[in-house]
Amino acid sequence: MILKGIHHVSSLTANAKRNLDFYTRVLGMRLVKKTVNQDHTEFYHLFYGDENGNPGTELTFFEIPNMARKYPGTNSISSISLRVKTDQALTYWKKRFDDLKIDHGPISHRYGHATLSFRDSDGHEMSLISDQNNSGVPAGKAWSQSGIPEEFGIVGLGPVKLTVRYLEPTAQVLTEVMGFRKTGHYLTNDNTSSEVHVFETGEGGNGSEIHIEQRKDLPEERQGRGSVHHVAFRVSTDEELHQWVNHLKSDGLKPTEFIDRFYFRSLYFSEPNGILFELATDGPGFNLDESSEHLGEQLSLPTFLEPRRKEIEARLKPLPTTSRMRKFREERED
């Protein structure tokens, strides 16, 4: 029962069309699945990833139209990162962000890695992180049809940062319950110079790390557009996931039961500061209902929602097709 690393991160957007444009045109990620929120089928749930949507590369968004902006604070997933291969890639991205007028910071260094902070169209706090000095959980493969040079493309999810009111309870769950290892700490680059504690699992490295900052001086985050909803960690098999249900319960946590998400199986639980964690299996994967060549091109529905397809499609606002998005990207960048 060893967690293999980060599986995916799920966030909140107020506008699926604008979100699709940012992550495919600006960042060059692949839309690997266009589906709906299984609990609120009138809204999209979009999945972006590497060329094949491999576990550890997936960034997903729940659409909630007209959602108010978030109010940042503690007890939150306060920022996420995306992996690129080299330090040189960050120079490419800084120029690209300048050209496209994307809000970003300078290239800096964090815990031995070059990074470039930026915000997406909903105000998510994000950064690109270089794998040049990284080892551990392997990265994915950048999408070859993104329009971004492959050597500079995004290849997976990097460290996820939590901001909490009380460090020790969260650290205890990570290390004593979930099997993470504490590897060190660093100071933030902002005016507070707070200490950030680093934990890793599995083979370690950028694809496995959780960074935690304790901030007792902040109010609790009010979620809105630009908030991260949850972070998921990789489990190998369905059998192992069932074992985690019993393991978490025995440690006093309250996980959900085994949930079938069609493209993977999962369970959820909240750690002591109230941040939502998910454990998710690596399979069966996104090519279950679409071929690898055509991922994300059609509205995909799990089998239990398929009988309601006409009703669901009628309530969704159409999104640009892959070919239309590619043409739009080319026109915008000429």
Where do the domains of the chain lie, and which CATH numbers do they carry? 6-333 (3.10.180.10)
Q: Find the largest Cα–Cα distance for the chain.
A: 58
At residue 327 the predicted structure's pLDDT band, cuts being 50, 70 and 90, is low
**Spatial CB neighbours of 130, under 8 Å, sequence gap ≥ 6:** 83, 84, 85, 86, 87, 89, 90, 113, 114, 115
Q: How many CA atoms lie within 13 A of 10 on its CB side?
A: 18
Question: What does the pLDDT read at residue 190?
Answer: 77
What's the mean per-residue pLDDT of the chain? Answer: 94
Question: What does the pLDDT read at residue 298?
Answer: 94
pLDDT at residue 263 above 70?
Answer: yes
Which tokens belong to 314?
Answer: 């009628």
Quick one: average pLDDT of 232-252? 96
Question: What does the pLDDT read at residue 39?
Answer: 85
Q: What is the pLDDT of residues 195-216, one digit of tens each?
A: 999 999 999 999 999 999 999 9
> CA 208 to CA 190: how far, in whole Å?
24
Among 265, 185, 191, 190, residue whose Cα is nearest residue 232? 265
| Amino acid identity, position 73 | G
> CA 161 to CA 159: how far, in whole Å?
6
Q: What Cα–Cα distance (Å) separates residue 103 from each residue in 127, 129, 139? A: 11, 16, 26
Question: What does the pLDDT read at residue 171?
Answer: 98
Let me know: does 28 contact 153? Beta carbons within 8 Å. Answer: yes
Which tokens belong to 86?
Answer: 């080299």
Q: What is the pLDDT of residues 39-67, one digit of tens each?
A: 889 999 999 999 999 999 999 999 999 89
> CA 240 to CA 133: how far, in whole Å?
32
Let me know: does 83 contact 131? Beta carbons within 8 Å. Answer: yes
Q: What is the pTM of this model?
A: 0.94
Question: What does the pLDDT read at residue 278?
Answer: 98
pLDDT at residue 332 above 80?
Answer: no
Question: What does the pLDDT read at residue 38?
Answer: 86
Let me know: does 228 contact 240? Beta carbons within 8 Å. Answer: no
Quick one: average pLDDT of 11-35? 97
Q: What is the pLDDT of residues 167-204, one digit of tens each?
A: 999 999 999 999 999 999 999 987 778 999 999 999 99
Question: What does the pLDDT read at residue 310?
Answer: 96
